[in-house]
């Protein structure tokens, strides 16, 4: 892994988490015109499917070529990680506090590490285990989960929340099964289309269009539809998956934890939502954890020894 590719992968993940951070803002605005979770999910996958199609046409037409087994894999990928994953999140937030559902989604670094160990026999180092623990604790501080007291939890909400974290992790783990056989672009292309077709059975496009056209500010809501579909899904998920070509799967799964940091900052400026001291501490812990993931302790110790000698 050369430095240029590593920087490219890290930059992709920074933008991915930033665009995920603004997703909550667009989603909140779309809720004002009674858009359901399924409708928002369809917007995200369908917009991404269209944009991915144009992107592949312009950059890599060979990605359209795929055999039947490859198509089955991509369809399974889209149904599991996009359609099913989004549905699990919707169920989770309807039964338990959003803060708890969110932290369960950010359990994905644990699942990436676990899946890599189970499927690919990748060793779990003590360093990785400790850093993951700090990262999850930081996210809990940012979301301020400690103030909920755990009084509103139920098992179905917890199980679906954990399942959402697992499917989110599988977005970057599953492509490793077909590495060098199916391109990342093909996986995203056919994955988004299969997810869109699946979600189409649960929404009414005509009603969705009517909600926008009869709203008080049609252009404003159209802009939020484009934002959540183009930036927060197409660009973010594409960068998330493609970054693994340059920096593997462990670091991207950890950098996802930057999303609540960006989301908290953006929410402060847009909605005036203040951050508590515990949330600032959590943000610092998350950022420190991401940097620590890339820090070579042995190399640093060797450098400090040479410096002091």
Distances (CA, A) of 216 to 83, 154, 211, 219, 221: 30, 38, 10, 9, 9
| 3-state DSSP assignment of residue 202 | coil
Residue 273 pLDDT > 70:
no
Q: Which of 171-185, 208-222, 238-252 has the lowest mean pLDDT?
A: 238-252
**Roughly what angle, to the nearest 10 degrees, separates helices 184-200 and 68-77?**
60
Residue scoring higher pLDDT (159 or 182) = 182
| 3-state DSSP assignment of residue 204 | coil
Report the chain's mean pLDDT, rounded to a whole number: 81
The percentage of residues in the chain with a pLDDT greater than 70, rounded to a whole number, is 78
Sign of CA dihedral 61, 46, 71, 165: positive
Residue 102 pLDDT > 60:
yes
End-to-end CA distance of the chain: 31
pLDDT tens, position by position, 6-53: 888 888 988 888 887 787 778 878 888 998 888 988 998 999 999 999
Q: Please return the burial class of 197, using the count of CB atoms within 10 Å of its CB with bins 0-12, 13-18 and 19+.
A: middle
pLDDT at 88 (0 to 100):
83
pLDDT at 156 (0 to 100):
84
Residue-range domain boundaries for the chain: 3-308
Residue 165's CB is within 10 A of a number of other CB atoms, namely: 25
Q: Which of 37-41, 71-75, 87-91, 148-152 has the lowest mean pLDDT?
A: 148-152
pLDDT at 42 (0 to 100):
93
pTM, entire model: 0.77
Report the half-sphere exposure of 280 (CA within 13 A, side-chain side): 5
Residue 113 pLDDT > 50:
yes
């Amino acid at each position: 892994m050369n430095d240029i590719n590593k920087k490219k992968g890290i930059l992709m993940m920074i933008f991915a988490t930033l665009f995920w951070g603004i997703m909550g803002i667009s989603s909140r605005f779309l809720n004002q015109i009674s858009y359901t979770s399924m409708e928002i999910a369809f917007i995200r996958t369908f917009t991404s499917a269209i944009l991915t199609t144009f992107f592949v046409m312009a950059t890599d037409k060979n990605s359209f070529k795929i055999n039947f087994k490859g198509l089955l894999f991509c369809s399974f990928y889209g149904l599991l990680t996009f359609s099913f994953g989004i549905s699990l999140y919707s169920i989770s937030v309807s039964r338990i506090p959003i803060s708890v559902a969110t932290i369960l989604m950010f359990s994905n670094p644990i699942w990436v590490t676990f899946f890599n160990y189970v499927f690919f026999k990748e060793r779990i180092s003590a360093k990785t285990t400790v850093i993951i623990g700090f990262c999850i604790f930081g996210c809990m501080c940012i979301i301020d989960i400690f103030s909920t007291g755990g009084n509103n939890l139920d098992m179905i909400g917890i199980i679906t929340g954990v399942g959402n974290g697992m499917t989110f992790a599988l977005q970057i783990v599953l492509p490793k099964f077909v590495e060098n056989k199916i391109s990342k672009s093909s996986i995203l292309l056919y994955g988004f289309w299969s997810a869109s077709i699946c979600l189409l059975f649960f929404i009414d496009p005509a009603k969705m269009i009517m909600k926008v056209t009869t709203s008080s500010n049609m252009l404003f809501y159209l802009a939020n539809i484009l934002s959540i579909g183009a930036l927060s899904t197409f660009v973010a998920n594409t960068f998330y998956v493609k970054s693994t070509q340059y920096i593997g799967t462990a670091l991207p799964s950890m950098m996802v934890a930057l999303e609540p940091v960006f989301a908290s900052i953006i929410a402060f400026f847009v909605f005036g939502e203040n951050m508590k001291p515990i949330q600032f501490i959590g943000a610092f812990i998350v950022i420190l954890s991401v940097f620590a993931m890339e820090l070579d302790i042995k190399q640093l110790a060797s450098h400090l020894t040479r410096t002091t000698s």
